[in-house]
Amino acid sequence: MNRDREILRQLATEVAEIAASPGMTKLKEDWKQHNALQSPRPMICVSPEGSWREIITEKDLLCEDELMRSFERVLRMKIYWATGIGDDTPISEYFNVPYQVKETPYLLGMDDVEQRVSDTGSFHYKVMIDDLEEGLEKLRFRKVTMDRQESERKLSAAQESFGDILKVRHRGQFWWTLGITAEVIKLIGLEALMIDMYEDPDGLHRLMAWFRDEHLNLMNQYESLGILSLNNEDDLIASGGIGYTDELPEGNGPLSYRDLWGFSESQETVGISPQMFGEFIFPYQLPMLERFGINCYGCCEPVEGRWEWIKTIPRLRRISVSPWSNKEQMADLLGKDYIFSRKPNPSYVCCGFNEEAIKKELKETLSLAPKLNLEIILKDTHTLENHPERLRKWMEVARKIAG
């Protein structure tokens, strides 16, 4: 254990030195300006996501204790982001330890719903509900419980190991999206969701309304437990971007959703018409988004056809412009009124390194920069074919083109 502590303290010291550098201080201010729609320049980030397992492998971790290894992984990720990638991801003096929470399932057997071919390959969901009418009777709202003792144990372990070097605190998020559609598909399948829009619209509306109410109930539980966390600093938010802002939290009282960035998307329903999105999806997402202080929308789905509805979200700020979006049309729609969160095509990095395609795509995006609050987020890099240096190379190309 003493050796584990020495390893963590050495890594924490490296992180603290990076966090204290003048470049990081400026990055924080750049993100604040960017999120306030006063972008000083295009912000460029890389999110390794699934490829982290190829960048920091189990063999790279030196600690023996499992909890210490989890801390070590986070510290090494921070160092690699700064030194191995060198993008606009800020590294702060904070070390975040998540609360330990559990949620009961909607339905027995939900833990085994995902049927995978491999860790990185395709998968499908085992259909849990064949009949909407009967299925609705079986569903139950999730119940949240928090293990305060375990939460404190992990926080104390980090504090005792390197709390005099980094600022250790509880912080974390309990969901990535409030989009609902992914959860519905886990129960009935994607095909059924789309067919029910024609064959059983009333039943689908009842199911979507149930999920809306269930998600609102879940949100209320986290708020009542007092374990919401701010996401207004070096937090990765939505489908890309960093949370630094002076606009949140809004008050000094107990934390509420009005103090947080909110996010929703519906990338699974990319195959339906805008009208179907406006009837069956968006009305059930909106009540949740109305509770947040600043909102983000979209991920891999093109949203230009859905803009009629999306633009009505209160306090909407960040919009995803996916590789499959019409970026020129989106530039006209968003202008300087929103953050244009451009997602380059990850296949140019994940399947070989297609430098010419990368340059062409970046040049096309950056040509729009003068009329936008632009950020470029390379994400969905779920493999690099064990060539992590590609991320640094992509970043160097992007920096050069961005000037």
Rounded to 10 degrees, the C-alpha dihedral 340/341/344/346 comes to -170
Give the span between the Cα atoms of 1 and 161, in whole angstroms: 10
Give the span between the Cα atoms of 370 and 135, in whole angstroms: 52
Give the span between the Cα atoms of 12 and 25, in whole angstroms: 18
Q: What is the pLDDT of residue 38?
A: 97
Q: What is the pLDDT of residues 106-148, one digit of tens each?
A: 987 766 666 566 666 677 777 788 888 888 999 999 999 999 9
Q: Which of 189-198, 248-257, 363-372 has the lowest mean pLDDT?
A: 248-257
CB atoms within 10 A of CB 164: 11
Q: What is the pLDDT of residue 59?
A: 96
The answer to whether the bond into 249 is cis (omega within 30° of 0) is yes
Burial status of residue 57 (CB atoms within 10 A of its CB: 0-12, 13-18, 19 or more): exposed
Query: Residue 93: in which H helix or E strand, if any?
Result: none
Is-contact 342 365, C-beta < 8 A? yes
Q: What is the pLDDT of residue 117?
A: 61
HEC string of 53-91? HHHCCHHHCCCCCHHHHHHHHHHHHHHHHHHHHCCCCCC
By C-alpha distance, which of 350, 349, 345 is closest to 377? 345
The percent of residues in the chain predicted with pLDDT above 90, rounded, is 90
Map residue 390 onto helix, strand or coil: helix
Helix and strand element counts for the chain (H, E): 16, 12
Which of 116-120, 188-192, 282-286 is predicted most confidently? 282-286
Map residue 22 onto helix, strand or coil: helix
260: CB partners within 8 A, 6+ apart: 228, 230, 231, 232, 248, 249, 292, 293
Query: Looking at residues 178-199, what average pLDDT do you find?
Result: 95
Q: What is the pLDDT of residue 217?
A: 98
Is-contact 42 401, C-beta < 8 A? no
Q: What is the pLDDT of residue 372?
A: 98
Query: Looking at residues 299-309, what average pLDDT do you find?
Result: 98
Q: What is the pLDDT of residue 254?
A: 87
Does the pLDDT at position 266 exceed 90?
yes
Q: What is the pLDDT of residue 389?
A: 97
Give the span between the Cα atoms of 317 and 313, in whole angstroms: 9
Query: Looking at residues 362-384, what average pLDDT do you find?
Result: 97
Q: What is the pLDDT of residue 130?
A: 84
Q: What is the pLDDT of residue 270?
A: 96
Give the span between the Cα atoms of 320 and 322, in whole angstroms: 6
Tokens of 28: 């924080």
Q: What is the pLDDT of residues 59-98, one digit of tens each?
A: 999 999 999 999 999 999 999 999 999 999 999 999 999 9
* Residue that is written with structure tokens 């009967």 in the block: 134
Q: What is the pLDDT of residue 120?
A: 64
Give residue 251's pLDDT band: very low, low, confident or very high (50, 70, 90): confident
Does the pLDDT at position 403 exceed 70?
yes
Tokens of 85: 């990638």
Q: What share of the chain is helix, strand, coil (3-state, %, to 5)?
A: 50, 10, 40
The percent of residues in the chain predicted with pLDDT above 70, rounded, is 96
Burial pattern 107-124, b for ≥16 Cβ within 10 A else e, equals eeebeebeeeeeeeeeee
Give the start-end residues of each E strand in 47-190. 94-97, 101-103, 114-116, 123-125, 144-146, 167-170
Query: Looking at residues 321-349, what average pLDDT do you find?
Result: 98
Single-letter amino acid, residue 39: S
Q: Supply the pTM of this predicted model.
A: 0.95
CB atoms within 10 A of CB 321: 30
Is-contact 99 40, C-beta < 8 A? no
Q: What is the pLDDT of residue 124?
A: 72
